Amino acid sequence: MAVIRDVMPAFELLQPGSAADAQRLLEQNGEAAWVMAGGMDSFDWLKDRIKKPRVLVDLSGVDELRGVRVTSDGVEIGAMTTLTEIANHAEIKKNYGVLAEAVSLVASPQIRNQGTLGGNVSQDVRCWYYRGGWPCYRAGGNICYADTPVGRNREHAIFGGDRCIAVHPSDSVPALIALDAKFVVQSAKGERVIDAEDFYIGPQDDITHINILKPGDLLTAIRIPATFAGARFYFEKVRDRNVWDFPLMNVASAMKLSGNNIDQIRIAVNAVSPRPMRLKNVEDAVRGKPATPETGEMAGKLAIEGAKPLQFNAYKIPLMRNLVKRSITGVREATWTS
């Protein structure tokens, strides 16, 4: 299918100076509005003329949405805080290092300097059929081009595919789920706080959206409680190239030990399902057990139960097994390449 790529479609540019004004503009314009944070994902859509919003609400002038604030019970990160600032922030590096490491592996330094945490957690799926303007299920059509006998699905889901098998691509989200982060959303009805893992929805619930945001909603901040501050963390991202690439898979864990036994743990993986996956069954299985290679081996085998590979992505099953194992043992056994 040919896609016209010349100039961006015309839209009305609105640049609010406060979060309240931004939310009001989103409320007024409803489905016609597009929210732009750092613009790293937005400009791809606009330049390729795949998305054609009537109104673009640019948040770059909303200073109150920027910065990391240390609170009495953790930290609060404004949605417009850049990934570079988060990666370099002393409090994040000291007590929430899994997030610092995750955001430091996003794309390239130039993109991290401009890209924001709110934008990174809100980005859409990365499927070249969908991104290329093909009329797939997610785009309102009646087929998944990746899930056909001739479809190219090397990067796609091994869990949770329901008409759409594209995966969620964020690096920061697994770390935020492991840290039990909360997403703060403002609407005309007031503020609501949502667990990071509940912010996302799968295609079986709504195939045209990846998260719970509705017209008029504004993601303002992400709060990380002190529950896992200073815990033992693990993050690993596997990708084709060391710079810029989206993950073929990533894993994040936060673990508190009592001696060598696992007392508290949270594990999340991404790029294996249309929505980020928290591995609650694995957490339950390893809690109380020693953080040993044997426990890690058991965790890895449990993590892949129910996986259904496609024609070109069966490699994701042993990859996931090994990443989950290492999230327990904390040891990178080898560098994986495709």
Q: With a cut of 60, say whether residue 335 has pLDDT above it.
A: no
Q: Give me 156's structure tokens.
A: 């796609």
The answer as to whether 1 is a domain residue is: no
Contact assessment for residue 268 and residue 174, using Cβ atoms and an 8 Å cutoff: yes
pLDDT value at 334 more than 80: no
Predicted confidence band of residue 244 (pLDDT cuts 50, 70, 90): confident
Mean pLDDT, range 291-305, rounded to an integer = 98
Q: Which residue do the tokens 């194992």 mark?
A: 325
Q: Would you say residue 243 has pLDDT above 90?
A: no
How far apart (Å, rounded) are the C-alpha atoms in residues 323 and 300?
A: 7
Q: Report the pLDDT value the prediction gives residue 48, as an integer from 0 to 100.
A: 84
Indicate whether 234 belongs to any domain.
Answer: yes
Residue 26 belongs to a domain = yes
Q: What is the predicted pLDDT for the residue at 317?
A: 98
Taking the CB of residue 25, how many other CB atoms lie within 10 A of it? 18
**295 three-class SS:** helix
| Entry pTM | 0.95
Q: Are 16 and 22 in contact (CB under 8 A)?
A: yes
CB of 299 closer than 8 Å to CB of 324: yes
Please name which of 77, 78, 85, 89 lies closest in space to residue 109, comparing C-alpha atoms.
85
Average pLDDT over residues 200-205: 95
* Assigned token pair, 338: 């495709």
74-132 confidence digits (pLDDT tens): 999 999 999 999 999 999 999 999 999 999 999 999 999 999 999 999 999 999 999 99
In a domain, 248, yes or no: yes
Note the pLDDT of residue 114. Answer: 97
CATH number at residue 266: 3.30.465.10
Residue 337 belongs to a domain: no
pLDDT at 6 (0 to 100): 61
Please report the pLDDT score of residue 337 as a whole number. Answer: 39
What is the domain extent for residue 85? 10-332
Residue 192's DSSP bridge partners are: 185
In a domain, 187, yes or no: yes
> Given pLDDT bands bounded at 50, 70 and 90, which one contains residue 196?
very high
Domain for residue 4, yes or no? no
Tokens (6 digits) for 313: 């992505």
Contacts of 132 (CB under 8 A, 6+ apart): 1, 3, 48, 50
Q: According to the model, what pLDDT value does residue 333 have? A: 52
Residue 3 — very low, low, confident or very high, per pLDDT cuts 50/70/90? Answer: low
pLDDT-above-90 percentage for the chain: 91
Question: What token pair was written down for 1?
Answer: 């299918």
Residue 91 lies in a domain: yes
Could you tell me if 186 and 19 are in contact, meaning their C-beta atoms sit under 8 angstroms apart?
yes
The total number of structural domains in the chain stands at 1
| Per-residue pLDDT, 4 | 54
Q: What is the pLDDT of residues 119-166, one digit of tens each?
A: 999 999 999 999 999 999 999 999 999 999 999 999 999 999 999 999
